Amino acid sequence: MKKISGINFMYDIIGDVHGHASLLKKLLLKMGYQKTNGSFSHPTRKAVFVGDFINRGPEIRKTIKLIRSMVESGHALAILGNHEINAIIFHLKDKPGIQLVKKPGKQFLSLFKTINEYSATSLTWQEDLKWLRTLPLYIDLGEIRIVHACWSDDAVEMADKLYEDGRIRKKTFRTIYKKSGSDEAKSVWLLTKGVNLEMPGDLRIVNNKGVSPRSFRIKWWDVPGSISFKEISFESKFTLPNYTVPPEIIPETYPYPENAPIVFFGHYCRGKGPHIIKPNVCCVDSCVTGTGKLLAYRWDGEKVLNMSNLVEV
């Protein structure tokens, strides 16, 4: 959906904001952006938002307004995260007058904070939901790539087919929700949720919190090989044991070549890092709601990621 040839700007890739508008303003000001004509801008740079603007934080409406104004005025780019996709799906009708989501699962729980903020201005929320459907699922700038959770060439190719007249149609979101095994659903959730290892019913491990997780996020960019649960995990909330993972339960991963363009993503709530994972792989999600910190990477045209280009407020 978003392949842009030629680099005319340098880019500031900003992690999951989750409704923390005041913190976002501080970050933009720290990076030299100024507010003019109702939107933040920089003379030689553009911001890139990796998705998950909504839910959790105290200023969700203000966050959407700020990001939308920057995108619509040409001062920023933005992609969809899994939280935005869940919001779009939650508000769809299956048939006239009948909600598509009849029994909201846990993935929708954090959405109610967003809905409550918009309750007095439901028309504004409908307009913002319509705008969200115009955002791409990834951005490819040639020398850098941006996705919310996981880069897969096949999923990117599928994503390009989902847009009609500049937006993802509602019927596509219905398919994503109702037909989880479809190629469309698998591709969208891979790009926005990454890869999880699902534990089989007869296998139990205990994390450092004393809990036995039934699934957990893993390092999608590596070839697993013989590896422990701790080594394959990319969880921020708990640590897994050093027991070797049975190879037959390891899901498909998407090894990211060393010579590929730098890829930036969010999603993984890396409050304690690491953020630069490989010379060309970077997670900019600093777990803003948990840490009170928001992170950006200032890309200046380099081919190899540089720690000194990380900016945090």
Q: Is the pLDDT of residue 24 over 70?
A: yes
Is-contact 145 139, C-beta < 8 A? yes
What confidence score (pLDDT) does residue 95 get? 82
pLDDT tier, 138 (very low <50, low <70, confident <90, very high otherwise): very high
Q: What is the CATH number of domain 10-182+258-312?
A: 3.60.21.10
Q: Is the pLDDT of residue 126 over 60?
A: yes
The contacts of residue 30 (CB under 8 Å, 6+ apart) are 311, 313
Sign of CA dihedral 94, 98, 104, 108: positive
Going from N- to C-terminal start, the domains of the chain cover 10-182+258-312, 196-253
Closest to 48 in 3D by CA, of 167, 119, 123, 139 = 139
Average pLDDT value for residue range 11-17: 98
Is-contact 222 208, C-beta < 8 A? no
What confidence score (pLDDT) does residue 116 get? 93
Q: C-alpha distances in angstroms, 249 versus 125, 198, 231, 252?
A: 42, 8, 15, 10
Q: Is the pLDDT of residue 79 over 80?
A: yes
What confidence score (pLDDT) does residue 167 get? 94
Is-contact 70 40, C-beta < 8 A? yes
- Reduced to 3 states, what is the DSSP secondary structure of residue 59? coil
What confidence score (pLDDT) does residue 3 get? 54
Residue 307: DSSP 8-state: G
Average pLDDT value for residue range 184-196: 98
Q: Is the pLDDT of residue 199 over 80?
A: yes
Average pLDDT value for residue range 48-62: 97
What's this model's pTM, rounded to 2 decimal places? 0.96
Exposure string over 23-61, b if 16+ CB within 10 A, otherwise e: bbbebbeebebeeeeebbbbeebbbbbbbbbbbbbebbb
What confidence score (pLDDT) does residue 69 get? 98
What confidence score (pLDDT) does residue 2 get? 54
Q: What rounded mean pLDDT belongs to the chain? A: 94
What confidence score (pLDDT) does residue 43 get? 95
Q: C-alpha distances in angstroms, 140 versus 6, 77, 97, 204, 237?
A: 11, 11, 39, 40, 30
Q: Is the pLDDT of residue 219 over 70?
A: yes
